[in-house]
Structure 1
Amino acid sequence: MAFDSSDPRAALAKSGTSSIPSRFAGAEYCCFHNVEPTLSDAGSQTWYMRGQNFVVAYSEVKDSLTFSRDQQVDEWVLLVPGSSLAKVSLEWEGEQVVVPGRSIAFVPGGSAHVVAEGSGQVVRLFTTQSSDVAELALNSVSYADAHPNVAPFVPWAEAIDGPRIHIYSLDVPKEDGRFGRIFRCSTFMVNFLDPTVGPRDTSRMSPHTHDDFEQCSLAVEGDYFHHIRWPWGTDKAQWREDDHRHCPSPSMVVIPPPAIHTSQAVGQGVNQLVDIFCPPRIDFSQKAGWVLNAKDYPSEHDSH
């Protein structure tokens, strides 16, 4: 891993894996406005994309969006990244709440109903244990066979106060030594990264790898290049060309392990990425103070 000394990730524990896998998967990209939405009506458009263990449902609401889940198998995520929507109502097992703009909600399995009114973005995250959702993904064919090097999905502990809706504001001030704004539940870890303004300083890039989990980077504002490089093993037939992919928002990339990767903001205005991991990351959890809701979802991996 290569991080600038000012990057909080420079203090992460180094990986203990040194061997190079024999097979690699490619990255999965989607610039949403370049493809037809999976679902569309007069009030909204929704694109579904997936990774090995998760599905992202990205919606642009023009007037209203209604969404229901009956007998959902596990905990899922409702993310409202902006503040332009008039109202987002969430009902779960008879409990009714309003999810404010710039908030993230973790919703237990069971029956849930969402109504978003106004104009703005809504993101939902599900594990691929919900096979009906996974089948909607635009790239579902890519995962007809499991991608190599990704560890199987194993859920983490449920909330300490039992199954209920948990809502957290994304408006958390930046803090020296902490990386982004990280929240987790039993199924996902979501890092709503600190926004940047203007292009990234290319003398302070952050190429790094993950041994056994995918990273999904969802761009909800701004403009990015994603740079990805695969290691060379002994079998030249498995070598891949470097990727340098331009992905204006709204867009997402699923980065496979153990590819070297880094993202470069190139937009002149605000650039906002959301990093998604399923299940949560151990290394981020081990950093004291990084997971902002760790008291609600305690883990054996937390720093004590």
Structure 2
Amino acid sequence: MSLPPAASASPGVRPRSFAAFLEHPALTLRGNRHRRMRAQNFIVEWIEAGTEPFEVESTAEMLLIFPDAGAVISPAGQGPGVVVPQAGSVCVLAAGRSSVRLSAPGTCAVIASHRPDIEPATVLNEAAYAQPDARIKPTGQPFRRRPGAPLVQVFDMAQVPAPADNPRLKMLQTDTLSINWVSYHGVRDRKALSPHSHSDLEQGSLALAGNFIHHLRVNWGKDANLWRDDEHLAAPSPSLVVVPVDLVHTTEGVGDGHHLLIDLFSPPRADFIARGWVHNAGDYSASVTAA
């Protein structure tokens, strides 16, 4: 179990946040178990549910991930629910309040930029964001859904194609979020890792199947007081690491079996959209008010 200290006010790299969800007490609501963690621009709720419904609410679109069970999603006041027929689906859910009922006991991850229904005190790493990082680009609302879209869109990730020039990843977006779906079997090739950093955004990496090691490095600058040792962080599933601005990172799947890692960004990765990598980018248009 690992949670961060309060965020540093120094100009260097801030502490990462990490939680292996099952190592933390759950908030139980209607028999369903909830664990919550955040970045500056998004919040992740991990729900272990039976067949009793749970509610979600957001002022922007939400992403719902169903790793091991289908569901019925019922937006408030909109009549019959939308059936999510199978596990391995991702749903884009319109802003507002909705009820979700799994078709069998299982799990669900809810990712959103704004959750007015969640009390900050119930978020595992809330203290890490007592001081916002001014370097992080605000979420804003840089994309607008084109007219006529349904309230719930369901994507069977087994049928979503990967970009021809980036076959490791499948990508989706909402109005304020984007994800990379990284799925493979067996260990990741240690000769083909991808260490990198971001100058104006945080990256969340949500482990949903398999075991991983997050390799984390602070680059040396002139001020040696800001240097830190490399970290090789063991991450079981389910878990979430939030990588701060300027922290070099790459993730390695270890051990046999299926690995599923979801990388999270807010605002959506405009660079990936521009390259044609985001599967549902055609459902959105850029906002004239984008920052």
Note whether the superposition's TM-score is higher than 0.5: yes
2:180 to 191, 204, 208: 191
CA distance, structure 1, for counterparts of residue 70 and residue 249 of structure 2: 37
**1:94: which partner in 2?**
78
Asked if 1:257 corresponds to 2:245, the answer is: yes
**2:219: which partner in 1?**
231
**Percentage identity across paired residues of the two chains:** 30
8 Å CA contact retained: 2:178, 2:266: yes
CA distance, structure 2, for counterparts of residue 174 and residue 74 of structure 1: 26
Change (3 A) 1:167 1:161: farther
Q: Secondary structure at the match of 2:91?
A: strand
CA distance, structure 2, for counterparts of residue 189 and residue 53 of structure 1: 12
Pairs aligned (count): 274
**1:25: which partner in 2?**
14
**1:209: which partner in 2?**
197
Deviation at 1:46, TM superposition (A): 1.6
8 Å CA contact retained: 2:70, 2:84: no
Deviation per CA, 1:75-114: give whole Å up to 9, x if none: 22222133xx253333344142112332222222223221
CA distance, structure 1, for counterparts of residue 111 and residue 162 of structure 2: 25
Change (3 A) 1:87 1:192: same
Deviation at 1:41, TM superposition (A): 5.5
Deviation per CA, 1:109-137: give whole Å up to 9, x if none: 22322122312220101214637354421
CA distance, structure 2, for counterparts of residue 87 and residue 114 of structure 1: 7
8 Å CA contact retained: 1:78, 1:124: yes
Q: Secondary structure at the match of 1:187?
A: coil
Q: Secondary structure at the match of 1:40?
A: strand
Asked if 1:279 corresponds to 2:263, the answer is: no
Amino acid of the residue matched to residue 187 of structure 1? T
After superposing on structure 2, the runs of 4+ consecutive aligned residues of structure 1 that deviate more than 4 Å are none
- Structure 1 stretch 121-130 or stretch 180-189: which is displaced more? 121-130
Asked if 1:165 corresponds to 2:152, the answer is: yes
Correspondences of 1:126-137 after superposition (within 5 Å):
126-128=112-114, 130=116, 132-137=118-123
CA distance, structure 2, for counterparts of residue 282 and residue 112 of structure 1: 28
Amino acid of the residue matched to residue 235 of structure 1? D
8 Å CA contact retained: 1:55, 1:133: no
**1:270: which partner in 2?**
258
CA distance, structure 1, for counterparts of residue 64 and residue 106 of structure 2: 14
Structure 1 length as normaliser, TM-score? 0.82
Change (3 A) 1:280 1:141: same
Q: Secondary structure at the match of 1:295?
A: helix
CA distance, structure 2, for counterparts of residue 60 and residue 275 of structure 1: 20
CA distance, structure 1, for counterparts of residue 126 and residue 213 of structure 2: 24
8 Å CA contact retained: 1:93, 1:111: no
Deviation at 1:225, TM superposition (A): 0.2
CA distance, structure 2, for counterparts of residue 166 and residue 87 of structure 1: 13
Deviation per CA, 1:182-210: give whole Å up to 9, x if none: 111101101212x2211112111111111
Structure 2 unmatched runs, 5+? 1-9
2:281 to 290, 294, 297: 294
Change (3 A) 1:222 1:122: same
Deviation per CA, 1:13-43: give whole Å up to 9, x if none: xxxxxxxx93221111111122212x12574
Q: Secondary structure at the match of 1:118?
A: coil
Change (3 A) 1:175 1:280: closer
CA distance, structure 1, for counterparts of residue 52 and residue 251 of structure 2: 31
Deviation at 1:252, TM superposition (A): 1.0
Q: Secondary structure at the match of 1:181?
A: strand
Amino acid of the residue matched to residue 272 of structure 2? F
Structure 1 unmatched runs, 5+? 1-20
Deviation at 1:300, TM superposition (A): 7.5
Deviation per CA, 1:167-190: give whole Å up to 9, x if none: 222112445313511111101101
Amino acid of the residue matched to residue 226 of structure 1? H
CA distance, structure 2, for counterparts of residue 165 and residue 86 of structure 1: 14
Q: Secondary structure at the match of 1:285?
A: helix
Structure 2 length as normaliser, TM-score? 0.86
